């Protein structure tokens, strides 16, 4: 499946502010919501439509409405920052949650929480700001498929080439939508140049 890098000027402007180490958590959260809106619009542009007739103030008009339900599953905790824009934009959304924690030494994701609705017949968005090694995303998407998801898009703020390659190898049917594919992962499996730990920057939980 494809990797879509959203190069809209506003998306790149917002990403630059997210990268800036001087951006405070309150502003960081607002920027994350705004950028997520742009990414999700891109990720859902293939949603099915059906024709309806509505009455305008002047006459009847044939037009189109969404014919496909949406599901969205943020990966905890940072993925929660991407949930609100989806709920605000779409009328028919089911929400699930996947809690994954990356081991600091091995970078292997460990599952600690999962609550998913039935996903059959719904276009499903997996939300995680950072696609680093790809391990957490691949594990979460595997669970989405078990819950019935067939059309899935991975939406992330930034990705590493290694994470993209890994996710495509494990789930070649899943589209990836991001604002940037960065240079590489460092020895700690952080994306470079990246923007640091997204969750810590969201909530101000710095060591």
Supply the residues annotated as catalytic. 102, 106, 197, 200
- The b/e string for 173-184 (b: 16+ C-beta within 10 A; e otherwise) is ebbbbbbbbbee
Q: How far apart are CA 48 and CA 14, in angstroms?
A: 29
Longest dimension (CA), the chain: 65
Q: How far apart are CA 129 and CA 83, in angstroms?
A: 11
Checking DSSP bridges between strand 97-102 and strand 60-66, what pairing results, if any?
A: unpaired
* Segment holding 124, helix H or strand E: strand 122-127
């Amino acid at each position: 499946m494809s990797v879509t890098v959203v190069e809209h000027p506003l998306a790149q402007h917002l990403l630059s502010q997210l990268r800036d180490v001087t951006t405070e958590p309150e502003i960081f959260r607002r920027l994350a919501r705004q950028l997520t809106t742009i990414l999700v619009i891109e990720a859902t542009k293939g949603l099915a439509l059906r024709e309806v007739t509505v009455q305008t103030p002047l006459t009847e008009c044939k037009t189109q409405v969404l014919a496909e339900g949406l599901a969205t599953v943020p990966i905890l905790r940072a993925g929660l920052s991407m949930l609100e824009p989806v709920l605000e934009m779409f009328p028919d959304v089911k929400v699930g949650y996947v809690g994954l924690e990356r081991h600091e030494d091995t970078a292997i994701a460990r599952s600690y929480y999962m609550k998913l609705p039935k996903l059959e017949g719904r276009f499903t968005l997996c939300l995680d700001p950072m696609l680093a090694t790809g391990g957490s995303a691949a594990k979460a998407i595997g669970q989405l498929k078990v819950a019935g998801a067939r059309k899935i898009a991975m939406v992330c703020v930034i990705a590493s080439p290694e994470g993209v390659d890994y996710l495509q190898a494990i789930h070649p049917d899943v589209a990836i939508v991001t604002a940037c594919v960065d240079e590489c992962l460092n020895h700690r499996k952080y994306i470079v140049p990246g923007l640091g730990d997204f969750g810590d920057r969201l909530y101000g939980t710095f060591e």
